[in-house]
Amino acid sequence: MRHFLVFMFLVFAGLFGALFLKNSRDPNKDSRPILKIYASSSFIKQWGPGPWLKEKFESTCDCKVEYNDAADSVLLMQKLKSENRGGGADLVLGFDQYDLEMAQKGIEWKPIKIESLNFYEPVRATLSRTHFIPYDWGVLAFLVRQSEVKELPKSFDDLLMPEFAGQISLQDPRTSSPGLQFLLWLISVKGEEEAFQFLKKFNAQVKSYGANWSMSYGLFQKNQVKSTLSWVTSPVFHLLEEKNSDIVAVEFKEGHPIQFEYVGIPATCKNCDLAEKFVKLLLSKEGQKVIMEKNFMFPVIQGVRDGTVFESIPNYKLMDMNVIPTIAERERILKKWTQLRRAE
C-alpha cells in the first residue's frame, strides 16, 4: 500500500510540475505585448489601484499589463539592475523624492512628455525633473485619537507633554522612509543642533521606533500608543472602512513635509509607447480618482477631490520641499542620530 501511495504521489507531483513548466514556457499563450510594471505591493494588491488601472488599460491598449512587486526602493533598484541584462521593466512606480538620487545611479531613464495639466502648486515645483513624474503625494503628520487626548498638539513642542510620555510610535529613520522624513522635518523646522537637542527629550516620549510604517502603525491601531507618524489621508481609511471618525491628523503650525510618489520609464523599456500611455492613464482624472481612493494619497491633479471625502481634509501648511539632502548628507545625519541614541 505504501508503494502505491508513494507512486501516486510522485505521478501527481510530476504532472503538477510538468503543467507549471508548460504554462511558463508556452509561447502561444498570449501574442499581445506585455507592459511590465514595477510598483509597490500596496499599489498592485486587490485593494490597491493597480487592478482597476490594469483592467482599464487592457481594455483599450490591446496589450497585457504585468505587475511586479517592487517592495522597497533598494530591492527595486537591485531587481531593475539584474533584469536589465535581459530586458526588464517598462515602467516603475513608487519612488519617493529621497530615492531619486539612487535611482539615477546606474540606470538610465527616459524623459516623459506630459500634457499641461492642472497640477497642485506643490506638485508643479517637482515637474522640472522630466524623467520622473509624480502620480500622487501625501502630507506627513502625527495622528491621534481625539477621545484620548485632552488637547490636540499644535507643534513639536506639544508632543513633549506628559500625556504623550511613552505614547508615540515612530519609524526608525535608518530603515524607513517616513522615519527619515520625520528627522529631516524636525531639522528643517528647528535647525540641526536644536533638533538634536529636542530629540534628547523627545525620545523619552517615543515608545517604539519600528522597522517600518506597518509596525509603528500597528501599535497605534492596537491602542498601544496615542500617536503615530503617518499621512493626513490615513484617517480617511478608518472613516470609510471602520466608520471611525475619532482618528485625526493634527496640524502643526511649523508646517508639514510632503512625500511624492514618482513614475519613471527606464531607458531599456521594450514597450515604451505603452508605458507613456499608461502614465497618461495615471494622470487622467479617472486614474487619479482611483489612486486617491485606493492608495489613500492625494491626487496630483486639481478637481479630483471635489465631492469626495478627501475634500473635507483641511489644507495643511506645507513646507518647501525643493532642497533634498544628498545620500552623503543623509548618512551624516543618520550617524548623528545613531550617536544620540547610543548615549540614551
Partner 1 sequence: MFAAFIESVKYVGHLIPLAFLRVFLGYYYLQQALVKFHGDFLNRPRLAAQIAEVLPTVDASYWYKSLVEKLLIQHWQGLAFFILGIEFAIAISYLLGYVVRPVAILGALLAFNMMILTGPQYEDLYRVFFAMHLAMAWVGAGRCLGFDYYFFKRRRGIWW
Partner 2 sequence: MSVARLVSLAILLFLISPFLILIFHFHQTSLPDFGEAFWALKNTFYQAIGSALIAGVMGLGISLGLNGIQKRIQFVEYLLYLPSFLPPLFLILICMSWIDPFPSGIVAIVFIQSLSYAGLLGVEFSRLFRDKVGAISEVGYVLGFSKSQFLFQVLRMLKRDFLGLLFLVFISCFASFAIPLAVGGGRGTTLEVLIYEKIRISGNFSEALFLSLLQSLLLISFVMLLRRRFVQRKNIETRSLTLLSWPFLKGAVLLYIGSYVFGFLADIPSGWSQLFRIQGLSQAILEVLPLSIVLSLGVGFVIYIFVMALAFASREKWIHKFIFSYVTPSTALIGFSYLYLGMSSELMSYLLFCLGFVLLSICSLYRMGVAPVLGGLESQQIVGMALGAGDFLIARRITWPQIHQVALKMSGVGAVWALGDFAFSKIIFSRDVTLGLIVEGLMTSYRLGAAQALMSLILFLGGLIYLFFRGVGYVSRS
- Considering the rule CB under 8 A, would residue 3 count as an interface residue with partner 2? no
- Among partner 2, partner 1, none, the one that 85 touches (CB under a kind-dependent 5 to 8 A) is partner 2
Q: In this complex, which beta carbon is closest to partner 1, that of residue 8 or of residue 324?
A: 8
CA–CA distance, 136 with 284 (Å, rounded to integer): 12
Interaction mask 252-281, partner 2, x per CB under 8 A? ------------------------------
Question: In a 3-state reduction of DSSP, which class is residue 243?
Answer: coil
Long-range contacts of 324-330 (CB under 8 A, 24+ apart): 324/97, 324/98, 324/100, 324/101, 325/184, 326/101, 327/101, 327/102, 330/98, 330/180
Q: Draw the binding track, 7-36, toward partner 2 (x: CB under 8 A; -: no contact).
A: ---------x---xx--xx-----------
Kindly report the number of other CB atoms within 10 A of residue 144's CB atom: 25
CB of 27 to partner 1, least distance (A): 14
Shortest Cβ 17–partner 1 spacing (Å): 12
Partners of 317 in the β-ladder: none
Is residue 179 a contact partner of residue 141, using CB atoms and an 8 Å limit? no
* Residue 152: contacted member of partner 1, partner 2, none (CB under 5 to 8 Å, by partner type): none
Gyration radius (Cα) of the chain, Å: 23
Task: Give 5's Cβ-side CA count (13 Å radius).
Answer: 2
275-334 residues near partner 2, rule: CB under 8 A: 296, 327, 330-331, 334
Longest dimension (CA), the chain: 77
Closest approach of Cβ 30 to partner 1, in Å? 13
Size of the site for partner 2 (CB under 8 A): 65
Instruction: Give the three cell numbers for residue 239.
Output: 472613516
Q: Does 197 bind partner 2 (CB under 8 A)?
A: no
User: DSSP for 142-196?
Assistant: EEEEGGG-SS---STGGGGSGGGTT-EEEE-TTT-HHHHHHHHHHHHHH-HHHHH
* Least distance CB 45 / partner 2 (angstroms): 5
List interacting residues with partner 2 (CB under 8 A).
Answer: 2, 16, 20-21, 24-25, 38, 41-42, 44-48, 51, 67-69, 71-72, 74-75, 77-79, 82, 85-86, 102, 105, 166, 172, 174-175, 203, 207-215, 217-219, 221-222, 224, 234, 237-238, 241, 296, 327, 330-331, 334-335, 338, 341-344
